[in-house]
Homo-oligomer: A and B are copies of this chain.
Amino acid sequence: MHKNSLLSMKDLSKDDIVHILSDALLFDSCYADWQLPDAGSLVANLFFEASTRTHYSFESAELQLGLKAVDIAIAGSSVGKGESLYDTLKTLEMHGYKALVIRHSRERYWDELENLKIPVLNAGDGAGDHPTQCLLDLLTMQQEFGTLAGLNVVICGDILHSRVASSNKTALELLGSKVTFAGPKEWSREGYEWVDFDEAIPEADVVMMLRIQKERGAALDGVGDDSYLEAYGLTKDRYARMKKTAIVMHPAPVNRGIEIDTDLVEAERSRIFKQMYNGVLVRKAVIKRAFGYGPFEGENR
């Protein structure tokens, strides 16, 4: 596997993360129009699972960097003829594509891709990892608070089925934040510190709500949409009890009225749409890294 691939947050050192976030911030200011010296190179996007935000955020990042982006139609591809994932991807390498962005339902799909010679950017592998989502979450917190060290982050909801929860836990702890989890006990995970949501809210700097992943089989007996909001969602009452400096996050798509009161999606302390904006910035940073370019400010910042 190409060394500039980005597969899992676990592969990134603290320095790697710092460099990526630093580049992402610079893409929002003096490097907004920066293009890859490899402008005109081809990148292929392969989404074996549905996606809007990750897919078109990556595509926006690719195009802004001057790359040519090609969406591979999965339904109409040789995958349907029984071809192995490796053979499909090796084919694209031979066709001249210089990097691949992949979302796949199989966790660690890259384990069979050793012989691939071009970088892979993981856009989500089953309930495994989703590193660019994690990076954009980190960026959003860093923009807000200047640092991640010492932050109190509460993540609430469908922890069990979420690739966001595990990526964020790994990275936030590495960077010195305190992370706790809340939501229905049925969706807890071993090794994750569980708290009462209502007790945690007044102390939190970041309240991150997760989406109920109905398409992964998430369901709770006796909990309809309304009762979920009351029990575990972000209601106006809970929002009012947050610190005045605290922010609301959600990886989206949002089930409005279930995880969060619909009026709060664009509330003053919500950073939900800001997260999407930041998604393009971090994806520009990891694509730049995939093409072999070091951080803008070198090692001396």
Q: Which residues of A contact B (CB under 8 A)?
A: 42, 44, 47, 50-53, 55-57, 59-60, 63-64, 68-84, 87-88, 90-92, 94-97, 115, 211, 214-215, 252-256, 265-266, 273-274, 276-277, 279-280
Additional A-B contacts beyond A50-B80, A94-B279 (8; CB < 8 A): A51-B76, A53-B95, A64-B96, A78-B252, A81-B253, A83-B254, A87-B253, A95-B277
Let me know if B256 and A53 touch, CB within 8 A: no
Interchain residue pairs A-B with the least CB separation, the first 7: A83-B253, A94-B276, A52-B78, A78-B253, A52-B77, A94-B277, A60-B95
Contact of A215 with B81 at beta-carbon distance under 8 Å, contacts A47-B76, A95-B279 already known: yes
Contact of A56 with B84 at beta-carbon distance under 8 Å, contacts A63-B42, A280-B96 already known: no
SS of A interface (majority): mixed
Let me know if B63 and A115 touch, CB within 8 A: no
Residue among A78, A273, A276 with max Cβ neighbours from chain B (10 Å): A78
State the CA gap A78–B52 with chains docked (Å).
Answer: 5
State the CA gap A273–B47 with chains docked (Å).
Answer: 23
How many subunits of this chain does the assembly comprise?
A: 3
State the CA gap A274–B115 with chains docked (Å).
Answer: 15
Let me know if B77 and A50 touch, CB within 8 A: yes
Residues of B within 8 A of A60 (CB): 42, 70, 95-97
- A273 (CB) vs chain B CBs: closest residue: B94
Let me know if B50 and A59 touch, CB within 8 A: no
Q: Which of B56, B92, B96 contacts A44 (CB 8 A)?
A: B56
Q: Which of B79, B214, B276, B279 contacts A52 (CB 8 A)?
A: B79
- A69 (CB) vs chain B CBs: closest residue: B70
- A115 (CB) vs chain B CBs: closest residue: B266
Let me know if B77 and A255 touch, CB within 8 A: no
Can you list 21 contacts pairing A with B, beta carbon distance less than 8 Å? A42-B60, A44-B56, A51-B76, A52-B77, A52-B78, A52-B79, A52-B91, A53-B95, A55-B77, A56-B70, A56-B92, A60-B95, A60-B96, A71-B73, A74-B76, A78-B252, A81-B211, A83-B254, A87-B254, A95-B279, A96-B280
